[in-house]
Structure formats: structure tokens, C-alpha cells
Structure 1
């Protein structure tokens, strides 16, 4: 992905989201642009108009941390957007390669036995994914919960992908995600965040190209440049056998495997969802060999 274009489009999209009123600026005369003008962002960030215009043209390399912080405050970026701005700046400097562990060519990631033991000890659904939203490993209940996702994988031995499922298998995805619109937005925002964090990931580029070509809805959302982190919250799913599942989730980065995320789900005790999970678990026999997907080339 072209870094200058990414920087330009991200800054323009964030500037368009902030009104003068939100920024505490007076509104005078007619406005020909959505959101703030470049001059207004420059004033708020404490930089010259010429320098801000240079940044917005994509020349983010060399910008100091203090300038980036000022820019983030001026554009009222949230934590995920601020981190994305810094990732873009590091990519422009050519330093992003040192921010994450790089994988040697030909290396394949396979779940360690100890990781699978830990997943098995968790009685609610649990899974491991990468930044491209490939589903890499689950415990048995996680596998059963995501049965609809597995059913759409082109090859039984191939790892499913959440974003591909969401946009290219919409009938199944809209059943699985009762609030499909929110789920779709989150999936794209996570993928966009990963693109900023690891701009040289060829597999991610290929995935974005495929989805942009095959799904106009994905392309529209991708071009909005929204980003987000996915740490904790609640989600509703619909399982075709046990009905609606209202689950809390906690996601955490895996220190031993940079770039991978462990997500644990939990139901409120004694709730309808807890009973539904108990029912699903009673139908699920542990089959370790079925929940380790094909080794993923280029995954840490």
C-alpha cells in the first residue's frame, strides 16, 4: 500500500469528521468543505499552514512525536486513530519493520500444545486470530460456536477468515451477526488498523484487493479509513442450533506470538446464553486434530 496515499486519505477523512463547533472555533461565512479547513487544523495543531499542507499531502516522514501528538489532539483522534497515525509515520520513516517481530520466509505458525491445553481449560468459547482476521485456533466450544464460519471455508483444512465470511457470504453472516452492519464496520476497521501497523504484509494486501473487487460494500467501508482496537465489550451472535448468544469478550495480544490475538468469550452466569452454551457444549466432543488449521504461511 502506498504510504503517502494512506496518510493523505486518513488525514483528510479525519479532518472531515470534525466541525468548527466541535473544535471550539467560530463558524463564519459559507464553507466549501466538510469539517475543518486545513488552515484551522494548522492553527489547532500549532504548525504553519504550509507544513500541515505538506503533511496532508502524505509527507509524514520526519514528523516529530510532539507534532504528531498535536495533530492527534487537533483532529480529536481516539486511541486507535492516534496509534494508526504513529504507525503511518513510522512506515513513512521506514522504521515500521522494526516495530514488530518479522517472520523468516518459509516459517509457519502452529499452535503450541501448551496453548491448546490452555484453550481447552476455558469452558466458554475461545479463539486465536491474526491481524488479517484469519481464525487460527479454537477450543472445542469456539469451534462449535463458529460453525457457520467454518462451513464457508473453501477447503476444510484452510483457516477461515472473518472479513471474507462477513462480506462474501452475507446470507450466512447476516444470520450469524444479528447486527451485521456493526460487525462489518468493526471487521474492516480492524483490518485497516492492521494495514497501518504492518504495511508490508502481502497476504493482507491480497485480501484487501480480493474483497475490494468482489464487494462494493467492503470497498466503501475500506475507503472510509476508520480504525479501531478490539479489546473488550459485548457482542450478539445467532447460532442456528441454540439461538441468540449475548457474550462478553476480552481480547489480548499474545506476547509469545506478536501479531496474534487471543479472545475469550463469557456469558453472564445463569443467563439464557449460559444455558445455550451449556447445550452447545453437550453436543461438542473435543477433537483436537480438527481445530488446528492448516499452518499459516507468514504468520508469527
Structure 2
């Protein structure tokens, strides 16, 4: 072997691995070392030089080969199935956040992801009310409207009168609705919404609620299906929306998202006037939710 060839071979062997593999290896070791045999029903077998479980014990609990698990914890480039990752997650007693981190580092889609909780806390509801006179709503990454104030209802209509599965801005934008009617730039806005929905679908595609909504939209709206076929993607962001609201006028509103958790899931969107004319018109929006009118 020539000196050049030998040097290249050594360099290749020392080439840095995928950073995610190194992080995955370190993460697995840290989770393994925090678990005692008693926690997983294994007997103590003499004194241990290092804390936690041994690699062979994790392999036993996950029903995988010891050599294979050792390679995984060493950050080697091996193919990892979601079934094996699921078994390792259970063997290491990972919580929801740790499990999501494991699958992200492995570059795999979790077959049983944690479903985003649709509830809104009393504190968030109080904050929504305090946003008045500005319209505000809590929306998840699937565009479900989870909560809103009276001013928002004054723009998009009485959402409480709709079936729960229809209280979704994607559905309202592509089917006959008050939201579709008042949204001035609806063609442009709908393409943006579809691109952001597709971006979210990449992280939640295994969830039944997402797949059900996608199927409903494609069947109900040729316009949605055409936009979906473009494969455009866009992350959530802020911007301007224009609404032509009956008995109120043309509202030019900047919308700003305030995330309610550590991930881009549910967010509170607050609409603020772009100009003084809109500021005056916003005062004409209702101050009570339609569902409270009869109380």
C-alpha cells in the first residue's frame, strides 16, 4: 500500500461522524447510566464499576442483540428501525420529551407520537380576554381554533355554532364559510396556509387527526388538492391579513404568534391594527362572544 493510500485510509477512519450520531450515542449512555437494575426488575449482580445498567442489560430489555446495541451507543452508521427505537425507548424508561429527542436524533418518525393536548388553560383564556379590543385566538399547528375572544368571533363568525371538527381555519378557508367570505386576499392566504400545513404534516403525518383532516380537505376542495400537489412548504410566521367585515369595514391587521410551549405547536395569534383607520374600525367589533348573547 502506498503512503498516499494509507494516509487516505487513516483519514477516512478518523473522519468525523454525523454530529447527530455522536449526540445519539451520548444521549443513550446518559439515559442508561441513570437507571438502576431494580427499576427495571433486574437483580443486582455484584459491584458495578459504572452507575446504571450495562449495555447487555439494555439489549436484553429491548430484545435486541448486544453487539447491535453497542454499535448504536457508539454512534456507528447502522440502520435503525422504528420498532427497535420504540423498544429501546421503553427499556430506558424515556418520558415523552426524551422519546421525541431519541427519534429526532435517529432521524426516524415516531410511530406513536405524543398527541398535542387540545385543552387551553384558564390562564391562557384570561390572557385572550385581556387582548381586547384586539382580536386574538389560540390555534394549533393543524389550524384548529382552540379558543378565541369576542373580537375574533366578530371577524370569522360564531365558531361555537360549528361542529368541533369544522372549527379549523384550513377547513373554513377552503369551504363556504364566513372566514372565506371576509378574507380579502384569500387566494394568496390559502396557498400560504397549505404550505404551512404541509410543513407541520412532516412532523405529525402519523397522527390520525392530521390524516383525517387532509383526506377531508382533498375530497371537499379541488382548490386545496391543487395547492397540496404543489408541495410548497413554509414555517409558521407573522404577517398582514386583510378582512372585509360586514358592518365594520376593511381591517388591515398585523398578526403576531406567541408560542404556548417549547415546540411550534399551539400558539396565541393576536391581530393589531396596521393603521389608524383600522384602529378606529376595530372598536366596532363585538365585545361579547355570540354564545354569551343569550345568557
Tell me the TM-score normalized by structure 1.
0.56
For the pair shown, the structure with the greater C-alpha radius of gyration is 2
CA separation in 2, counterparts of 1:251 and 1:198? 20
2:173 alignment partner in structure 1 = 166
- What is the distance in 2 between the residues matched to 1:289 and 1:115? 19
Q: Is the 8 A contact 1:231 1:252 kept in 2?
A: no
Tell me, which stretches of 5 or more residues in structure 1 are unaligned? 1-60, 63-88, 291-300
Counterpart of 2:63? none
Question: 1: CA distance between counterparts of 2:222 and 2:271?
Answer: 31
* Aligned partner of residue 279 in structure 1, secondary structure: coil
Structure 1 match to 2:236: 230
**Correspondence for 1:129:** 139
Structure 1 contact 235–247 (Cα < 8 Å) conserved? yes
Instruction: Flag the 1:200–1:92 CA change in 2: closer, same or farther, 3 A.
Output: farther
**How far apart, CA to CA, are the structure 2 residues paired with 1:255 and 1:187?**
21
Question: What CA distance in whole angstroms lies between the structure 1 residues aligned with 2:290 and 2:222?
Answer: 38
Q: Which SS does the other structure have where 2:224 is aligned?
A: helix
Residue 138 of structure 1 and its aligned partner are, at CA, apart by 0.9
Output the CA distance in 1 between the equivalents of 2:251 and 2:136.
14
Number of the residue aligned with 1:150: 159
CA spacing shift, 1:197–1:103, aligned 2, 3 Å: closer
Match runs of 1:173-184 below 5 Å: 173-184=179-190
CA distance in 1: counterparts of 2:251 and 2:206, whole angstroms: 37
TM-score, length basis structure 2: 0.57
- Partner residue of 1:265 out of 255, 271, 287: 271
User: What is the rounded CA distance, in whole Å, between the counterparts of 1:142 and 1:211 in structure 2?
Assistant: 24
Q: 1-side partners of 2:180 and 2:118: how far apart?
A: 31
Which of 265, 270, 288 aligns to 1:285? It is 288
Structure 2: any 5+ residue segments left out of the alignment? 1-77, 80-102
In structure 2, C-alpha distance between the alignment counterparts of 1:145 and 1:199, rounded to whole Å:
31
Cα–Cα, structure 1 residues 103 and 137, in superposed 2: closer, same or farther, change >3 Å? same
Q: 1:244 to 1:262 in 2, by over 3 A?
A: same
Q: Which residue of 2 aligns with 1:94?
A: 108
* Counterpart selection for 1:186 from 192, 196, 219: 192
Change (3 A) 1:244 1:115: same
CA positional deviation for 1:173: 4.5
Alignment match, 2:256: 250
Map 1:192-203 onto structure 2 (within 5 A): 192-203=198-209
Q: 1:20-63: CA deviations, max 9, x gaps?
A: xxxxxxxxxxxxxxxxxxxxxxxxxxxxxxxxxxxxxxxxx97x
How far apart, in 2, do the equivalents of 1:154 and 1:114 lie? 25
Q: 2:129 aligns with which of 120, 126, 129?
A: 120
- Give the secondary-structure state (helix, strand or coil) at the position aligned to 1:137: strand
Tell me, in whole angstroms, the C-alpha distance in 2 between the residues paired with 1:97 and 1:252.
29
Tell me which residue corresponds to 2:118: 109
Partners of 1:254 and 1:262 within 8 A in 2: yes
Q: How large is the RMSD of aligned CA atoms in angstroms? A: 3.4
Aligned-partner Cα distance in 1 for 2:105–2:143: 22
Distance in 2, matches of 1:116 and 1:145, equals 18
Q: In the alignment, is residue 212 of structure 1 matched against residue 218 of structure 2?
A: yes
Give the Å deviation of 1:288.
8.7
